[in-house]
């Protein structure tokens, strides 16, 4: 049996300082219901982070709006317990305000974006953001102003890499007028890959593509469904096949499945060992809606 290690998914190089394992971890589930408030067991949340690092995950994705702030606190607590903290790469996001459970309101005002970066660094215990996403483009402010503020902080050494979340190719091109964009984070999974054009553009531009909701399998699972049939063929879970599809789709894709369960975490990491055949990859690719 192959070793359980995220490194088996291959690597992606952001810069000379960081070459990360492609299979990462997202912290969104480490909050209360509706991504609001604290997680029911903070110690468990920190333990999952620690174990993820032990399994070779060195890319963690978070956001100030998860909780808000709670996921960041658990991430910081978990990473304090790992021996290779200096080798951990964190992607963070700012630009969403929260007014309650399941309520998300973009705010791209420059002083707000700057405030959130400063508070995030303080909460995470870091002196710079490895990768900072504009969580959403706020239509009430120009892209030049929103991205421009991140560039100012980049020039100040507070942000190394700039990314955009939930954007079109045209929006990426607009942002590229003002900054070097190194990563995109959009909704994308085996059941919904409407943003194929964004993945392809990102790859051509040497940008990482971070798919959020990577394990949404929609109606593709169930008795005799295509995804379940292929999972049985490889003797793995449907989730592992969904992640294996993402890893094979493009070398710039960095899946970030999140969980608060050690068992599910280990199941997700085991996806790094699944190598889909071209035939099975093509079958799954035709199932998107």
For residues 124 and 94, what is the distance between their CA atoms, to the nearest angstrom? 14
The token pair that represents 179 in the structure block = 């900054």
Among residues 284, 280, 272, which one has the least CA distance to residue 4?
Answer: 272
> Is the bond into 227 cis (omega within 30 degrees of 0)?
no
Find the catalytic residue in 12, 25, 39, 66.
Answer: 66
Residue 66 annotated among the catalytic residues of the structure? yes
Question: Please, are residues 58 and 79 in contact by the beta-carbon 8 Å criterion?
Answer: no
* Residue 281 three-state SS: helix
For the range 168-174, what are the long-range contacts, defined as Cβ-Cβ under 8 Å and sequence gap of 24 or more? 168/198, 169/197, 169/198, 169/201, 171/137, 171/143, 172/198, 172/201, 172/202, 172/205, 174/143
Active-site residues, by number, are 66
């Amino acid at each position: 049996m192959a070793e359980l290690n995220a490194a088996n998914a291959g690597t992606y190089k952001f810069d000379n300082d960081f070459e990360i394992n492609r299979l990462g971890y997202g912290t969104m589930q480490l909050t209360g219901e509706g991504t609001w408030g604290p997680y029911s067991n903070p110690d468990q949340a920190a333990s999952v982070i620690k174990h993820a690092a032990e399994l070779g995950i060195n890319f963690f994705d978070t956001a100030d709006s998860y909780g808000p702030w709670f996921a960041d606190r658990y991430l910081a607590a978990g990473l304090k317990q790992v021996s290779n903290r200096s080798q951990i790469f964190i992607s963070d996001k700012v630009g969403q305000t929260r007014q309650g459970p399941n309520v998300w309101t973009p705010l791209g005002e420059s002083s707000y974006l700057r405030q959130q970066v400063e508070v995030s660094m303080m909460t995470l215990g870091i002196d710079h953001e490895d990768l900072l996403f504009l969580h959403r483009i706020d239509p009430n402010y120009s892209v030049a102003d929103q991205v421009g503020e991140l560039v100012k902080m980049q020039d100040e050494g507070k942000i190394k890499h700039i990314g955009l979340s939930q954007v079109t190719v045209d929006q990426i091109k607009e942002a590229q007028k003002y900054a070097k964009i190194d990563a995109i984070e959009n909704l994308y999974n085996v059941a919904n890959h409407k943003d194929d054009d964004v993945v392809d553009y990102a790859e051509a531009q040497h940008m990482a593509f971070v798919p959020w909701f990577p394990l949404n399998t929609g109606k593709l699972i169930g008795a005799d469904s295509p995804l379940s049939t292929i999972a049985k063929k490889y003797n793995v879970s449907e989730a592992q096949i969904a992640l294996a599809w993402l890893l094979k789709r493009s070398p710039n894709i960095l899946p970030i499945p999140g969980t608060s369960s050690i068992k599910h975490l280990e199941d997700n990491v085991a996806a790094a060992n699944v190598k889909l055949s071209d035939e099975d990859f093509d079958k799954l690719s035709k199932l998107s809606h």
